[in-house]
Structure 1
Amino acid sequence: MTTLYLLGSAAPPVLEIASAVENAQSRGYDVCLGLTPSAARWLAPELAELERLTGHPVRSEYKMPTADDVWPRGDVALFAPATFNSINSWALGITSSFVVGFAAEAIGKGIPLVAMPCVNSAYAQHRALDRSIAELREMGVAVLYGEGGFVPNQPGERRSGGYPWHLALDAVGVLAGPTL
């Protein structure tokens, strides 16, 4: 079975992460869920259920150097939703959170990576975002942003049709190959 590391940061679609896990599982993935500390705080009441659903601990912090890994080796990773802060930190190599650190290291390990931002149109006007997306793409990350991926919505507005999780999981399938 292909192991998918699903990494999420604190944007509204992270509140739908259980459905994304179930969708990935229906596609044949063994899902391990990692969250930024803020996303973990948002999902605190659901963390036990998410651990039951995935069969793995939900991680939001780096492990101690002497501790064993609690997840199986990852075959492919999806960072979604990826916030403005997470995208920019990742591109700059600022690894103050576990999920950004994993994503940065995964580039060097050759683990296939898909990222789908979740930013509003105000954040999208900041030049750092385009630079960061270009940098990640140059490092081989499949960033789903713009047509065929995530298109920013207006600040404070809910996206009609919801966050396009299916596009992210389709891209994972292309990188990972058949799972079933």
Structure 2
Amino acid sequence: MSILRPAVLYTALLFGANPAAADIAAADAARAGDMQKLNFAEAMDLPKAELLDLEDGVHSLDEYKGRWVLVNFWATWCAPCRTEMPGLDRLQGRMEGEDFTVLTVASGRNPVPAIEKFFGEAGVENLPVLRDPKMELSRAMGIMGLPVTVILNPEGQEVARLTGDATWDGPEADAVLRALLERD
């Protein structure tokens, strides 16, 4: 008996017993194009951190539990962020009403007027904005450069990460995200 056969059997049993793991396996298998940069890993709890909205209201990523969340860490000075943000906005607009949210987290010093100007120039209308001005969450999650996009499962755990910009409103991203949202 080859080593491969028990591994395939174990994987099938694992995914059959765990629908969320099966969804992740399907999403991992669907990666193509820019999504090949998306790395899936074992679900990992997030550090606790307070994030601010544009009016200085305090929020937490725990508020998004119960749905899949695509968290994009970005900054107003980041050129690749400017390129990818309109696609993230279109993705959120298209998937509104599903168990899915795109959430942007402005990492570091990003004054509110600069964020509003950035979103206005980029034509962003559908995305919520949270700020991590002291980079507490960013540092705790090992965000070293921008942009970085993290996918959270409905339990609020990180299951995937993509470093750099990507086309989030294209068919490759759609295939991965639809696989995550599949229900038995």
Q: What is the TM-score with the length of structure 1 in the denominator?
A: 0.36
Determine which structure has the larger strand proportion and give its number: 2
Select the structure of larger CA radius of gyration: 2
Q: What is the TM-score with the length of structure 2 in the denominator?
A: 0.36
